[in-house]
Amino acid sequence: MNLESLQNIVIQCRKCPRLVAYLKEVSRHKPKRYRDWDYWSKPLPSFGDPDARVLIVGLAPAAQGGNRTGRMFTGDRSGEWLFNALYQFGFANEPNSFRADDDFKLDDCYITATIRCAPPKNKPLPEEIENCRPYFLKELDFLKSIEVIIPLGQIAFVQTLKSLRLKGVEIPSLSFGHGKMYSLRTPISQLRTLITTYHPSQQNTQTGRLTKPMFHKIFKMVRKKLSG
């Protein structure tokens, strides 16, 4: 198995009946602005540069975003923020992406998620997170150049720590906040640093909890860490 064949398995996964039913429901009740779209409505594969040094871990696909377009963060507001920041700091070739078949490409960066099917109200159940965890654990085996990991938001942070501990990484109790940097001693390839950030969700960006300078600061930290 390799990263690509793992993603083919992910796409066919039906382990979470609630989410399988929800995705069908979403594609049956499209909002007017997307009525011409043929929704992806399956689990989303992770994507990016397989030799990336930076790994971003999202929470879950958005029902009208990645779940519609077929690529994580593509076509939704969180993606706009994320892709724009990645572009500004040289990790993407375009400042935004609207469709999975466009020319958007990540460079030295790989994007995955805690779960790969859009959950109702963006809230996965604990058992759904557990069902999806093996895919992330397997990805860590294939992504051999990762140096810095960035979970987006508190849930992804907690779940990333749990996954890393399952991989044998000894991690003390770490607190979540925006812009914290932790050194890791891991047996996983080159992974040595974890950086925390608030999730670029609309809830955070529209309320000013997360501003563009705050979000860009994260990628400044990443660049500094990589060049260091």
Question: Binding residues for ligand SF4, per CB under 6 A?
Answer: 10, 13-16, 19, 43, 115-117, 128, 131-132
The residue (of 15 and 192) whose beta carbon lies closer to ligand SF4 is 15
The tokens describing 2, both together, are 């390799």
C-beta of 88: minimal distance to ligand SF4 in Å? 31
The residue (of 160 and 205) whose beta carbon lies closer to ligand SF4 is 160
The tokens describing 149, both together, are 């990991």
C-beta of 62: minimal distance to ligand SF4 in Å? 14
The residue (of 17 and 213) whose beta carbon lies closer to ligand SF4 is 17
CA atoms within 13 A on the CB side of 85: 25
C-beta of 211: minimal distance to ligand SF4 in Å? 31
Question: Are residues 129 and 151 in contact, defined by beta-carbon separation less than 8 angstroms?
Answer: no
C-beta of 116: minimal distance to ligand SF4 in Å? 4
> In terms of Cα–Cα distance, which of 171, 165, 147, 169 is closest to 221?
147
The residue (of 10 and 140) whose beta carbon lies closer to ligand SF4 is 10
Q: Length of the chain in residues, anyone?
A: 228
* CA–CA gap between residue 20 and residue 83 (Å, rounded): 28
